[in-house]
Amino acid sequence: MNALIWRLHRSQVYLATAGLAVLAGVLLVTGVNMAHDYRTALATCAPTQSCSDLAGQLFQGDGLIIDLVNLTLVIPLLFGLFWGAPLVAKEFEDGTQNLVWTQGVTRRRWLGTNVAWAVLAAALWGAAMSGLVSWWRIPEDALNGRFASFDIQGLVPVAYSVCAVAVGIAVGSLFRRVLPALAATLGVFVVLRLLVGLYVRPHLMAPLTRLVPLLNDRGGAPPGAWILSSSIVGPGGHAFGQSFSLNDVPAACKLGLPDGPRASITCVASHGFHQLITYQPDGRFWAFQGLESAIFLALAAGAVGFAFWRVLRRDA
């Protein structure tokens, strides 16, 4: 059975290995150069304590490679589309599963072996990709924080890859046609990523708050923090949220300019107005990675369970 799976899917393995090798070559070469530039710049600005604007000075000409690294965000989805979705759907579409079952291989063993190898391959490739990107981003993370590239490094790319493949297998067992399975895998996985990223992740742990002066670099958040929201707080403790406008500014701070009235931020700050920030500290990065990975692995387990139920129940 294992030998048969290898013969059927070795071209996909070769293609994925070649893609990973190309990515590794690009990241190794550019990563060494970026690390060298970062260490050189740090050594130059550290004696004069002028490193505060280092993030705005370094890597300005590396936009293309940074965009390429950010595009690794879609690689787990590709695993789901080209490994997961056709795995079961193509067998049923071509009717080849009946040939396998008549040769002494049970449905459970057939599906279990296919699922095990697909999930293992996705986990291995996801881990290799994540390791490369995490290493490459060390200078960037030192400047901008790890939350800035949460989705493409650490543990979650592995969990995303496994979940995408599992979702592909599940929808393939449901539709039993390759094209509908591809479309459904794309839609389901993208929706899952958006829902978790936008609505679940910010609430995985209770955020911290900090009241800071209006004139404050990075809004007063600790280095590397993930800023969830920021609002203006008046001298009486009233939080304006997004409703703060020129009408709320003390009259003494309003400036009449030719192109319209403005407010002096310095003046507003002197009247007791502050900024309230809500944030997740950089120290929680790995906790968030673990929690979100657990969510996607649980979703993957549910998808695989559905595939087994669908295949064994319908074809028993």
Dump pLDDT digits (tens) for 235-247.
877 777 666 776 6
Strand order, beta sheet including 208-213: 208-213, 274-280, 226-233, 239-241
Q: Check: CB of residue 272 under 8 Å from CB of residue 253.
A: no
Distance CA 97, CA 137 (A): 44
Strand-pairing partners, residue 263, are 254
Q: Tell which wins on pLDDT, 1 or 177.
A: 177
pTM of the model: 0.86
Q: Sorting pLDDT into bands at 50, 70 and 90, what band is 31?
A: confident
Q: Check: CB of residue 97 under 8 Å from CB of residue 110.
A: yes
Give the model's pLDDT for residue 104.
63
Residues with Cβ within 8 Å of residue 76, at least 6 apart in sequence: 122, 126, 157, 160, 161, 163, 164, 189
For the residues of 113-155, what is the DSSP string, one character each?
A: HHHHHHHHHHHHHHHHHHHHHHHHTHHHHHHH-GGGGGGGSTT
Q: Which of 1-15, 56-70, 103-117 has the highest mean pLDDT?
A: 103-117
Q: Where are the domains of the chain?
A: 2-50+63-205+286-315, 208-280
Give the model's pLDDT for residue 221.
74
Does residue 216 surpass a pLDDT of 80? no
